[in-house]
Every structure is written in C-alpha cells, then in structure tokens.
Structure 1
Amino acid sequence: MNDILKWFGDEAKRLIATGVIILVILILIFIMQVIINRFQKKHRSRRAITVAKLIQSIIRYTIVIIGFIAILGVWGVNVGPILAGAGIVGIAVGLGAQTLIRDLLAGFSIVFENYYDVDDVVEIKGFKGRVIEIGLRSTRVQGWRGDVKIFANGDITEVTNFSKNPSVGVVEIDLDYQENLHRVLGLLEEKIGSLREVFPQILEGPNVVGIINMGPNSQTIRITAKTISEEHYAVERGIYRFAKELFEANGIKGPYQRTVVYYDKDNRKL
C-alpha cells in the first residue's frame, strides 16, 4: 500500500498532466460536435451532411492521435520518431494496418466520388436500408426494421443506390374475364388522376398501362406512377385501395377459381 501511495506521489505531475490532456481532448471533441450540429441545421442537403460527418470523423481521429502522442511524451516516451513518421509507420505495419489504410482510402472515395450520401437508401451485400453515417473506416446502414449493419468501407465493392433517381411504383390487378376490359380501363383513366392530390410524392402519373397478361382465370392490368425516390411503397398501397373501392362501387369483380364438373349419360360425376 505504501508503495502505491509513493508511486502516486512521485508521478502526481504526470497524472495531472495526463488528466488535463484527456480533458482538453473531450472539450475539443464536444466543441467540434456543436459546430458540426449547427452546420447541419443550416445546411440540410444530404451532400452537406455527408461531408460534415466525414470532416467530423477526420478531426476526431486527429485530436485523439495528437492527444495520445502528447500523453506518451508526458510519460517520457521519445515521440520524435513518431512525429517524424518512421515510428508510426512501423507501428502501423506491425499491427497489420493495410486493412486500416484500405478502409480510409475507400472512405474518401465513397464521399468524394459521391457513391452515396447520408440518408440515401442503398443496398450493400444484399442488405437494403438507409445510410445513417459515413465514417473514415465504416458505413452504417439502418434497415426498415430498425436493425443497423456496419460495413467496413474497404469491403464495399458494389452498391445499389435507390436515391439517385425517382422510383416507379408498379401495381398489377387481376380481373375476371367476364368483365368488360374497355369499361374498366376507362373508369380507371377517368378517376385515378385524383390520387395526385392525396399523394404529393407522385411526380408523374398514375398511368394506366393496360392489359399485360392473360392467365388461365384472369386478365391482368398494370398501373404505374413515378414518385420521389423510395416513396413509391405508400403510393402502390394507395392505388390498390383506390382500385378496390372503385371496383366495388361499380360492380367490377376480381377473378375467382372455377371448377367444371362433367357427368356421364347416367348422371354420374366423371
């Protein structure tokens, strides 16, 4: 116990200096966070938010690295080789930093080549969701169920970005063969335009394409609508509901399964 107290007494200055450095690091990171948050409130574009997040990540890493080197200096470690670059390169290679460097370079490429931005909807390695953060080393994507998946930037080789262009909602409805196709298409073309007032995310349409398939029991018609990117799901549901209510009001029936029964001359079922 006496040895421990003696050590604390001998190293009091270094401990205090270390604590001050850590406190300064936390204060600088907090100030940076406040500045970035204010910037994001003023500039709400996806591109601005993405670049701000990247700058935040770069500054955070820089502050932590400089603080770490300062703490080493306080404890008597010769930081000259580290500052010169030779020491840090040796440490990086020793720790297998090829992967780290690959992730960092990939992070810069993703942002500056504009593969995707924060809040874009993307699909990476079969996982589809909204980008919630782009860092120097990784990208965080949140699925529609709320699950978050983290991808190392260096592992992202293929990306499908659903937010670059408008989306197209496609609705296919089956009709009974006994229904008059011209009457049904005419009703839809006359009434369906009212959906634009209900769904402001519609950019073009809805358009009644017409009949696209003739199956064993039904004929299929298609309706399309161009919407703001990834806003077509609600529009598709709205079109289905609109069509159902319109068909019910006008006595238009959907297909149903038919069974044909044959009897022989003695009225026995074959």
Structure 2
Amino acid sequence: MNRLLMTTSANVLPAWLSERAEAIGVTSAKIIVILLVALVTRFLLHRGIRRLTQRTASGDTPVILRPLSDRARNSLKDSVIPSERRTQRAAAIGSVLRSFTSIVILSITVVLILGELGINLTPIVASAGVVGVALGFGAQNLVKDFLSGIGLILEDQYGVGDVVDLGEASGTIEGVGLRITRLRDNAGVVWYVRNGEIIRVGNKSQGYAQVVLDVPVSHETDLDQARQAMQEAGDALVRDEGWADKVLGEAESLGVEQITASAIILRLQVRTTTADQWRVARELRLRIARRFSELGIASPLPIMGMGPGETGQAAPGG
C-alpha cells in the first residue's frame, strides 16, 4: 500500500511541476513579448516625434501638414518667427509629446503584465484613483502651471527676446519653460513668474511696433512750419541707411493732437521693427529738437514720446 502511494505521488509530482513550469514559461514569454513591444513602440514613437520637432524647428512643413501649409502661410504671412523661438517651441512640444507617449505606454504595459500574472486589478485601480485624487488636490497648482506653459508655447504668445508686460512684472523674456517664465526688467532685476499665474500678456515685440511722438510747441508757433519741420526730420530718418532696416514705413505728421493752456501738442508717428521702437523714438526726438533749434521754434515743455503701450516708464537700454 505504501509502495503504491509513493509510486502515485512520484507520478503526480513531476506532472504538477511540469504543468507549473510550462505555465511559468508561457507567462514569462508573454511578459517578455509585452515588454519588447512596449520598448519598440516607445522607440518608434519617440523617433517619429523627434524627427517631427526637428523639421518643425528647421522651418520645414511635415508631410502630414502640407495640405494646410497654404492656409497657414496666408494667416502668418505678416508674422516671422525667429529660428530660436521656433526651436524652443518645437523642443517644448516634443518634450510634452514624448512624456505623454511614455506615460501611456507604461500604463498599458503595467496593466497587461499584471493581467498575465493573474493579479486582480480592481483594488489597484481603486487605490490608484484615490491616490490620483489626493495628488490632484496637492499638485493642482503645479499641473495648472504646466498646462498654462504648454498653452503659452503652442500659441507663441511670447518668446526669448520679447519685451512683454505680464502685469506685476515687465521686461525682456530670457527663458520660457513649461512651469516658469523668466524675464529681466529695465532695472536688471530677474523675475520668475509661474505660468499658471499669468492672466494677461502684453507683447511689444510681435509683428511691428509704432513710435508715437507728442511734441509740445508754444501757442505763438507757426504750426504749419512746425509740422513741416517734424515731417522733414521723420523723412530724413527714413532715408538714412543706418536706420532703414529699423523703419517699416513713412513717417507721418498727424498735426495738432491736443491744445492745453501752456502748449499745442503736435503728433508724429512711424512704424518700426519690433524692439527698435525706443531707439527710433530717441533718434527722432534728437532730430526734431535739432530742426526746431535751426528754425527757432520754441518748445515750452520737454519733448515727450511714447512707444506702443508706454506710459512714461523707462524704456529698455539700447
């Protein structure tokens, strides 16, 4: 009897071990296949994203977007995106896409592997949901900053080198990240602004700029002579080869802008390239002052001038 039991056990044990070994082998093979597919998929997607962002950074239109190239060209014909900004946008977009694809692939891979191991996913999913809610409450500001940063970069609201007004801080942009925007004001102070806290943006460096000079003259001044002098100063600046690349149109003397008890305000305006409006305004003031001095035109108050959006604040150096 004992010999029969031992014989039966000896026959059953190898069969059980064989079945378990076969099951483990099949499960291991499936897990290896899942990992290989995940790695290959991630590699191919990242490679495609990298190529797409490189072509975007170089200014080429990807094949998938070529049917829309004419429409985009018409809508952006007056907007030139410098290569540095284009590269920055492409890098940021590529980083977001790579992170997104990695998270999706990792999540799917983990779920498939746990399923092959026979682990019940319901408690894990429930726990992950609770943890996700807790993290969402704790990191909502961080998520808000990242989402706002993605929107700022995709919409090209501003880029490195732009002169902007962000409300509490204004100055020249030195760096744009997914969470933080760094800018330096006219006093040299570096400001770090969270993207989620940016409610409005005033960009003085997109498209073109407008120089508007309000020149006060005394009531006794010959207004026609003063207007002509201002027009001559503006025309001379436009014709000057040293300033031709900074001016986008003819200077225009608009005439009397305002009459006060102490002076008559005459206005001159000219369209310029972005970030050059302050230099052009300074040169125009100098030329108008010299021309007025030659003609003996009296100015009761200092000549005042404003670039776009300026309200008497100091202009960037240059």
TM-score greater than 0.5 by the shorter chain: yes
Q: In the alignment, which of 114, 126, 131 is matched to residue 90 of structure 1?
A: 131
8 A Cα contact 1:122 1:161, kept in partner: yes
Task: Answer 1 or 2: which has greater helix percent.
Answer: 2
Distance across 1 between alignment mates of 2:163 and 2:283 = 22
* SS, match of residue 151 in structure 2: helix
Q: In the alignment, which of 193, 199, 206 is matched to residue 157 of structure 1?
A: 199
Q: Which residue is equivalent to 1:30?
A: none
Paired AA for residue 199 in structure 2:
T
Q: Which residue is equivalent to 1:45?
A: 83
Distance across 2 between alignment mates of 1:252 and 1:232 = 26
How has the CA–CA distance of structure 1 residues 89 and 154 changed in structure 2, closer, same or farther, with 3 Å as cutoff?
A: farther
Which stretches in structure 1 are left out of the alignment for 5+ residues?
1-34, 66-80, 257-270
Q: Which residue is equivalent to 2:92?
A: 54
Q: Which residue is equivalent to 1:192?
A: 234
Residue 248, structure 1, aligned to residue 293, structure 2: yes
Task: Answer 1 or 2: which has greater strand percent.
Answer: 1
Paired AA for residue 103 in structure 1:
D
Distance across 2 between alignment mates of 1:186 and 1:157 = 44
Distance across 2 between alignment mates of 1:133 and 1:189 = 40
Distance across 1 between alignment mates of 2:176 and 2:191 = 12
How has the CA–CA distance of structure 1 residues 101 and 189 changed in structure 2, closer, same or farther, with 3 Å as cutoff?
A: closer
Q: Which residue is equivalent to 2:153?
A: 111
How has the CA–CA distance of structure 1 residues 131 and 88 changed in structure 2, closer, same or farther, with 3 Å as cutoff?
A: farther
Identical-pair percentage: 25
Q: Deviations over 1:83-111 (max 9, x none)?
A: x9977983883581222222222221111
Q: In the alignment, which of 284, 304, 316 is matched to residue 239 of structure 1?
A: 284
8 A Cα contact 2:211 2:277, kept in partner: yes
Q: Which residue is equivalent to 1:266?
A: none
8 A Cα contact 1:211 1:222, kept in partner: yes
Distance across 2 between alignment mates of 1:120 and 1:88 = 42
8 A Cα contact 1:206 1:223, kept in partner: yes
The Cα RMSD (Å) is 3.4
Rg larger in structure: 2
Q: Which residue is equivalent to 1:227?
A: 272
Q: In the alignment, which of 213, 217, 229 is matched to residue 175 of structure 1?
A: 217
Q: Which residue is equivalent to 2:167?
A: 125
Measure how far apart 1:60 and its partner are. 11
Paired AA for residue 236 in structure 1:
A
Distance across 2 between alignment mates of 1:134 and 1:143 = 15
